[in-house]
Amino acid sequence: MSSSAPYPRFSDAEIERRRAAIARVMAEREVDHLLVYGANRFGTAVGWLTRWPVTREAYVVVTRGERDVLFVDFYNHVPNARRMATEADVRACEGRGIELPLAALKERGAGRKRIGVIGPLPWRAAAALSDLAGALVSLDADYTRLRLVKSAEELEWLRIGCDLTDRGLAALQEGAHPGVDERELGALVEADCEVGVCASGSGIEVLATELYGDARLSRDEVLARFIEGAGPAVTVYDERDWRSPYASGSARVDGYVICPCSMSTVGTIASGAMQNLIHRAASVALKEERRLILMPRETPLSLIHLETMATVKRAGATLLFLAPGFYSGAETVGDLVDFMVSRCLDQLGLENVLARRWGE
C-alpha cells in the first residue's frame, strides 16, 4: 500500500491470487466462462475481483486463459475504473445493460456453453444470458467460500479498517456535542492529527478582542476557551518554550500554520531572526523544506510588505491571504471562516468538507 498510489488498493499479487482462486472454482464446476455482476454497491464480487467499487452497474466477463473485461455503466467512470482495475480490459456499457457483456461472451465462444454467474443479476438480464448459454451455473456459494478465507494482505486491511474505526469513534467521543453539524462531525473523524498551539502576546490580544469580545481576558483564559473540546490531541506551548518539538528540525512535523500572520512576523521570518517559538518554528519549516503556511490579512500593502512576502515565498513558504471566496454561498461569518479553514487544510493535504467547492 503505497502513499503515492492514486487510490488505496490491494496489490497486484493479491488480485492474481483471487483470479487464480476463481479459475480453480470454474474448473471444478466445469465452466469456461463466468459473468460477475454488481449494482448500486451490491454484489461485492466485482470489487473483489477487479478493485472497482461498483457505482451504478458493472459486469465482469471472465474466461479461463483470457483477460477479464470490466463493463462500467457511466462513461465518465471509465478513466477511474482503468486506473483501479488495471488487470482488466475496461469498457463502457453505453447504457445498454447486459447487451455488450453478452456480445463479449459470444466473441469468446460461450454460446450454448455452461456459463457461471456470480452476483444479483436482474431477471431480464438473467433471461438474456440464459438464451445464450447452454446452462447457467450459480457460483455465489463458491465465491462466498473463497471470501471467508482471508489472505495475509486482507487481514492487514481489516486491521487498518478497525484502527480507523477506533480513531473515528474516539474523535467523536472527544469532540461531538449538542449543536455540532454534519460537516464538523466529518472533520472530527477525518482529521486524526496531533496539533501544537502557540500564541504570541499579540495573538492572545487578537483572540480575546475579536473572538471573545473582551480584551481584558487573561492569556490562560483565552487559550482555555480556544482549545475547549479539542481533546488530548492538542497541546499548548508557551512562546518562549524552546524545548518544544517545533523548535527543532529533528522532530517530525508535517506542517506549520501561522494565522493570522502579521507583517511584523513575516518580516522577522524573512530576516531569519527568531524572537519566539513561532519565528523559530517557521525557520525550522523553511530549512527542513516542510509546509509553512502564512495567513496574512494586512491591507493595503506597502512595497516593503510585498518585497518581504516575496522573500518568504522564494524561501518556500505558502502565502494564503485571509480573503474568502463568496461563490460558496456563505450565509454567516462562520461560513466565511470555514472557507479559509478549508483552504488551509487543503494546503496541508488534509481532506475536509468545510466549504462548498467550485462547481459543486
- DSSP H or E run through 271: helix 263-271
Residue 204: alpha-carbon gap to chain centroid: 34
Give the count of beta carbons closer than 10 Å to the beta carbon of residue 99.
13
pTM of the model: 0.54
pLDDT of residue 5: 40
pLDDT of residue 231: 63
pLDDT of the chain along its 360 residues, tens only? 333 344 567 999 999 999 999 999 999 999 999 999 998 767 899 999 999 988 789 999 999 999 999 999 888 889 889 988 999 999 999 889 999 999 999 999 999 999 999 999 999 999 999 999 999 999 999 999 999 999 999 999 999 889 878 887 877 777 666 655 556 666 666 666 788 899 999 999 999 999 889 999 999 999 988 887 666 678 899 999 999 999 999 998 999 999 999 999 999 999 999 999 999 999 999 999 999 999 999 999 999 999 999 999 999 999 999 999 888 788 888 889 989 998 998 998 887 778 888 876
All structural domains of the chain, each given as residue ranges with its CATH number in brackets, are 12-149 (3.40.350.10), 182-348 (3.40.50.1950)
Rounded to whole angstroms, how far apart are CA atoms 254 and 246?
A: 11
From 304, 200, 193, select the one nearest 255 (Cα to Cα).
193
Give yes or no for a contact between 190 and 247, defined as CB atoms under 8 angstroms apart.
no
The three grid cell numbers given for residue 144, joined into one nine-digit string: 462466498
Cα–Cα distance between 165 and 27 in angstroms, integer? 39
DSSP state of 212: S
Q: What is the DSSP letter of 91?
A: E
The span from the CA of 312 to the CA of 273, in Å, is 13
- pLDDT reported for residue 23: 96
CB-based contact 346:325 (threshold 8 Å): no
Strand-pair partners of 255: 291
pLDDT of residue 177: 63
